[in-house]
Structure formats: C-alpha cells, structure tokens
Amino acid sequence: MRKLTSPFALVLSSVIALGLTACGPSSPSSGTGDKVSADGVRTVEITGNDQMQYSVHEIKAKPGEKLRIKLTNIGRMPAQTMSHNWVLLKKMDASAVNALAMSAASKTPDYLPADQSSILAHTKLLGPGQSDTVEITVPSEAGSYPYICTFPGHAALMKGQLIVQ
C-alpha cells in the first residue's frame, strides 16, 4: 500500500530529500545550530571540546553577509592546558596557515600572532564553560577562508573553512 502518490506528497518528499542532501554526509557539521536573530543576522554556534574538536568545520555564507559566530568551550580541562578561540584568516594555503599558527603559539596570553594583518576576525581565548560571540561581515570575494584555533598545537585539528559563494 502506497500513500505518497498525490503530486503534493511527491513534491513534499522531494523537498525533504533535498533538505537531507543539503546537510548530508558531505558536510556533517554545516548548518547545525544556525539561528537567525530578530535583526536578521544569522548566528553560527560552534563548540570546542577537550578532544580539540570544533563542532563545525564548514560555514557557508554569501558575500557581504553579516554573521555572528558564537564559540563555546564545552570542555572541562583547565584553561592553561586547553583553551580555544576561533580565528578567521585571509585566503591562504595550508602551509601558510600552519606558519601563522606556529607564530601565534608563542604569543601569550591570547596566542594571536604579532602580525595580525592576516586575521579577519577572532573571538577571545576561552577557558572551560566560556563563550564569546564575534560579528563578522563575510568577505565580498568568493572562495574559502580558513579558520583555526591558535592555542598551541590545536590548529592541526581545530580548523575549518568559511566558504563564500
């Protein structure tokens, strides 16, 4: 017995299928927790944990869009050994990202490199249970903008891409 035979039901099921595709296995973390506030600005909520993992590795946005990025450290380890931030960088390749992370590692207390010209936006460095929100204007040029946590040693795992399209 088939119930989904009316044209409406077929359209509905394709919409559902498309929706599932949009946040399917290819981008397991995009779209989770996005909220649009009363002023129309979308907030992307990202967590960082004691396993050095961001919950979101890919953020898709439109050129010039305003976005709020809310990072929460959901870990329990002490801040001296496990803190997180979210640092959005200019377009650069993986080796340049690594070099920047290396130069940031010695810059206490916030682990931001002395030369911040490659940084488009960043949150505060967060200890366990803390969160911080930064509002950004998405770059007007399409492409992939890397983001990382600059706490020493974290950028190898804690990284993602802001995809402007």
Asked if residues 161 and 144 have their Cβ atoms less than 8 Å apart, the reply is yes
Q: Which stretch binds Zn ion (CB under 5 A): 13-21, 37-45, 127-135, 141-149?
A: 141-149
CB nearer to Zn ion: pick between 100 and 158: 158
Query: Using the rule CB under 5 A, is 158 a contact of Zn ion?
Result: yes
| Span 7-66, contacts to Zn ion by CB under 5 A | none
Nearest-angstrom CA–CA distance, 111 and 98? 14
> How many other C-beta atoms lie within 10 A of the C-beta of residue 31?
15
Query: Which tokens go with 40?
Result: 């129309």
Nearest-angstrom CA–CA distance, 133 and 70? 4
Give the shortest CB-50-to-Zn ion separation in angstroms: 10
The only residue of 149, 155, 162, 164 in contact with Zn ion, by rule CB under 5 A: 149
| Span 84-113, contacts to Zn ion by CB under 5 A | 84
Number of residues that bind Zn ion (CB under 5 A): 5
Query: What are the DSSP calls for 27-81, one per residue?
Result: STTTTTT-EE-TTS-EEEEEEE-TTS-BS-SEEEE-TT-EEEEEEEE---S-TTT
Give the shortest CB-133-to-Zn ion separation in angstroms: 17
Give the shortest CB-95-to-Zn ion separation in angstroms: 20
Q: Where does this chain bind Zn ion (CB under 5 A)?
A: 84, 149, 151, 154, 158
